[in-house]
Structure 1
């Protein structure tokens, strides 16, 4: 069991962040294996052949991706903490990655091999020099070819997760905010987060605090990022990643769409996790006016309510909205802490 230990000062300075690098790493892991998530299937089917062709043509890329997808220890240079909070840009992350020396990369890769459940022969693909720069080039290609087009929608989903957890933090503190970030994460005692059930040494978070970084769950895993001079960052799957699938994917959703309209049904289901109108517009690729019109109808029907938080209005489902969207199977409203 691995614990992250945080003192009072570390807690006060901990915060949320976004990382396009983490999103890219999740995509690499997802495209390296068969698809098991129905919501991910269309994206995976479009991009998997080209990604596999890339690996077939580049032994270094194939060896690295195979190792990353089959180890309990991610190489340090692919899992660096984001440097600029919610404003982090992929270019800045890859620039930092590219500067990691070969000896550091090699040592980290050997640790990853030791922690892998498969056999790997580094000598067959870890050749030449500038391994970190070559990794950065690979990640840039994955971003350009497979993620850049869908990033605005996925970023909106990540920002919604941050909004949700920031609300829990404000109301209940960090123990509730970190609850269920993954199936292992839980607050332990007065000053520690358990984020893994695997054996390992505890980490002590410094006075600068740590970062909590959602990604869309393409790899479904959770990992800890470490970097010299940077705070620890815990990367976790965002709530509602499965909402990226079509609203018409299941029979009950089809019936709900026929009842109240496809657009309003999609928004009502999406409000399982509270969101602003801007976040909903970005997620569905709609205008603010269209989203506002749907929300107005849902509010008049008392299926959603809006609550002001500073300059924003955050919408959530009412109990009636929950019952309509889930058939009464949901145990708590979207605004109720898990």
Structure 2
């Protein structure tokens, strides 16, 4: 696949963290059993099984028809993300995708010659697209609340940290260096981006539409590309630090770090594998926010942790000294 980028497109490159894209790609990870996400997969399956939603089984049938373990994903599930998109706002955009675009997606899925329930579900959706879209939206809403929303604060933290890192890289070295570090399958040329995965679309976005880069934990180890009209070209890629996403807090009760810093500060430092807010840390460790904030200040003042701002929120992550301390312990 090739994404042509004009000089105008390059001025419109920006990053987005999208709860909808995470939700959709998590469906693939759930079915594929992606090793990196096994801790989440085990918990998500338990939550889905325990769900009291009467239509839960039907919701899952629809979603796993549109998002399968590999291959094409219905583009209409992931319309162009916008700044500060909440999941509800993104879901409204899904509901507003025209019927002809849904039919285009269903035709593409049909072209893969599906069998069993997938074939039957596709026929059912195609028979009345106008009636199918509200069902798809309801299925996405249920799945988000059940399997993804409980983990969104942690996911969002790592996505925003990646964006902050990429923006710093952009300001220092330029957009071409950013492109080089997105994913091994993405190669920058003088006229655009060549991506070794995916297939060419016939209905391409208009030149000058820009480019959206979306860090996405569940897309690992691959990428996902949206390059078809009327959407803005979009590339998802795994954020830096995704390998530590589901790590549990390191045992600190009797560790040398615990004896040096005290148990609570050692627990907080160990938890900062991904950037987290004071509130998130307080919830994770079952501590008062004020207590966590006091310890974070000490850790930050000593260089063991560092603060970074994303909009109105302040996240904390381990600093270089903190990483070295834990590595030596």
Instruction: Please indicate the TM-score interval, normalised by the length of the shorter structure.
Output: 0.7 to 0.9
Map 1:242-281 onto structure 2 (within 5 A): 242-248=244-250, 256=257, 259-261=260-262, 264-265=265-266, 268=269, 279-281=276-278
Map 1:1-338 onto structure 2 (within 5 A): 2-34=1-33, 36=35, 37-41=37-41, 43-50=43-50, 57-58=57-58, 61-62=60-61, 64-82=63-81, 84-85=82-83, 87-115=84-112, 119=115, 123-126=119-122, 127=124, 128-129=127-128, 130-186=131-187, 188-198=188-198, 200=200, 206-217=207-218, 220-226=221-227, 228-241=229-242, 242-248=244-250, 256=257, 259-261=260-262, 264-265=265-266, 268=269, 279-285=276-282, 289-304=290-305, 319-327=320-328
Equivalents in 2 of 1:226, 1:260: separation in Å?
A: 50
For the Cα contact (< 8 Å) 1:5–1:193, is it kept in 2? yes
What is the TM-score with the length of structure 1 in the denominator?
0.74
Pick closer, same or farther for the CA change 1:207–1:26 going to 2, 3 Å: same
For the Cα contact (< 8 Å) 1:205–1:232, is it kept in 2? no
Report deviation, 1:125: 1.7
Pick closer, same or farther for the CA change 1:74–1:120 going to 2, 3 Å: farther
Equivalents in 1 of 2:101, 2:306: separation in Å?
A: 52
| Structure 2 alignment gaps of length 5 or more | none
Pick closer, same or farther for the CA change 1:233–1:189 going to 2, 3 Å: closer
Instruction: State the match for 1:332 in structure 2.
Output: none
Equivalents in 2 of 1:125, 1:212: separation in Å?
A: 32
For the Cα contact (< 8 Å) 2:215–2:237, is it kept in 1? yes
For the Cα contact (< 8 Å) 1:267–1:280, is it kept in 2? no
For the Cα contact (< 8 Å) 1:3–1:201, is it kept in 2? no
What is the TM-score with the length of structure 2 in the denominator?
0.75
Report deviation, 1:24: 1.4
Where 2:147 maps in the other structure, the secondary structure is helix
Where 1:125 maps in the other structure, the secondary structure is helix
Equivalents in 2 of 1:23, 1:310: separation in Å?
A: 20
Corresponding pairs, count: 317
RCO higher in structure (CA 8 A, sep ≥6)? 1
Where 2:69 maps in the other structure, the secondary structure is coil
Deviations along 1:173-200, whole A, 9 cap, x unmatched?
Answer: 22333444334234x2334233434554
For the Cα contact (< 8 Å) 1:14–1:209, is it kept in 2? yes
For the Cα contact (< 8 Å) 1:99–1:133, is it kept in 2? no
Report deviation, 1:139: 0.1
RMSD: 4.1
Pick closer, same or farther for the CA change 1:184–1:35 going to 2, 3 Å: closer
For the Cα contact (< 8 Å) 2:223–2:236, is it kept in 1? yes
| Structure 1 alignment gaps of length 5 or more | 329-338
Equivalents in 1 of 2:216, 2:206: separation in Å?
A: 22
Equivalents in 1 of 2:102, 2:208: separation in Å?
A: 28
Pick closer, same or farther for the CA change 1:109–1:93 going to 2, 3 Å: same
Report deviation, 1:201: 6.1
